[in-house]
Amino acid sequence: MSFKTQALSLLGSISLALTAHGVAQAADSNKVKVGMMLPYSGTYADLGNNIDQGFQLYIEEQGGTLEGVEIEYVRLDDESNPSKAPENANRLVNRDQVDVMLGTVHSGVALAMAKVANDTDTLLIIPNAGAMAITGPLCSENIFRSSFSNWQPGYGMGVAAAKELGKKTAVTVTWNYAAGDESVQGFTDGFEEHGGKVLENLTVPFPDVEFQALLTQIANIKPDAVYTFFAGGGAVKFVLDYAAAGLKDTIPLYGAGFLTDGTLQGQGEAAEGLYTALHYADDLDVQKDKDFREAYEKRFNRVPDVYSVQGYDAAQILHAGLKEANGDFSNREAMVKGMSESTYDSPRGPLALSKSHNPVHNMYLRKVEDGMNKLQGIAVANLGDPAKGCRL
């Protein structure tokens, strides 16, 4: 399905969901209302769509209910726009009366959601956004992340760039917001701990895709490698522009794995050979992943990516809470206990949540080969996040 057709069919399902559910009451004890606040438009639209599908797949596999509790959805397009985020999140909690918020992709939007979750004592499961503060100083009993912190894939790639790939110098390029800054911080920590040196940090505003000036700077600096954080539509454009500028064969391009996850169809030949680090790969030798990929392809007629996995695992976290609470969502203590303590059988391989409710998982080194992110090895095993400032 083309990007446009997918977006259109998704819009169809959003309006259907809204009309069908109206403003149903949250008080119904056999239902839990999940407010999906995700980007269904813009550069991160595919990411939001895949999270939504991953979540749905898990719920469907359980027969549409978790411990006898029916799962109802309210969907809201956050447009990856931080300035609209407080109003959007408040609307879900106060007008739509959702029981749990699920979202989002963009760190700036997720920071606003975390504030609303804390102010209104609402459970929040974050299926992507990696803002470190959310499992750092802003960490909270109510807030869980099924994805990663921005630092983690950056750190994994930094270690691999120095150790496995033997690079000594690098330039970083990213969007100028929390996700980019923190991803670059992770890379710098991993790379410099292992003898590398970051020469320069280049940025563009989010979600700009005008990269020519940066590419000229990179060509002039001539580092051993370039590290990037880009995702979604921006990642497709960056990889195409990097190859078209003739840089791909002279200065290897590395990234947090979002650079090549869910994007390979649009990048084609330009992505072949790129190394990235992420908590997922397309050919993991993990039985759960084989089952997951087969079920996902059958259900949605397309291959899953890391975002689909994170959506699926977000649903597993909700399920862990309902198991501990024996299906009684109103038992908050049991919900939080179940959601906090579990280890998960994730398609990504071993997954546990840290005390700050952030994933601890392997950072895999991957290389694009034949249009797939193929596993090269584990860059860092069971990597947690520094979680500085979290007092849970």
What residues line the site for ligand PHB (CB under 6 A)? 47, 105-107, 128-131, 150, 179, 231, 258
Nearer to ligand PHB, 38 or 47 (CB): 47
Closest residue to ligand PHB, Cβ-based? 231
Residue 327, phi then psi, degrees to nearest 5: 80, 5
Nearer to ligand PHB, 153 or 321 (CB): 153
What is the token pair recorded at 93? 């909690």
Give the span between the Cα atoms of 44 and 207, in whole angstroms. 9
Instruction: Please enumerate in sequence order all residues whose Cβ is within 8 A of that of 134, keeping only pairs 6 or more positions apart, or say none.
Output: 110, 111, 114, 126, 143, 145
Give the span between the Cα atoms of 102 and 19, in whole angstroms. 20
List, in sequence order, every residue forming a beta bridge with 368; answer none if it has no partner.
373
Shortest Å distance, C-beta 206 to ligand PHB: 8
Shortest Å distance, C-beta 387 to ligand PHB: 16
Shortest Å distance, C-beta 250 to ligand PHB: 27
Nearer to ligand PHB, 233 or 321 (CB): 233
Shortest Å distance, C-beta 148 to ligand PHB: 8
Per-residue b or e along 261-289, where b marks 16 or more CB atoms closer than 10 Å to that residue's CB: bbbbebbeebbbebbbbbbbbbebebebb
Nearer to ligand PHB, 12 or 137 (CB): 137
Please say whether the beta carbons of 368 and 374 come within 8 A.
Answer: yes
Nearer to ligand PHB, 130 or 384 (CB): 130
Please say whether the beta carbons of 48 and 109 come within 8 A.
Answer: no
Please say whether the beta carbons of 298 and 392 come within 8 A.
Answer: no
Nearer to ligand PHB, 222 or 388 (CB): 388
Shortest Å distance, C-beta 170 to ligand PHB: 20
Shortest Å distance, C-beta 251 to ligand PHB: 23
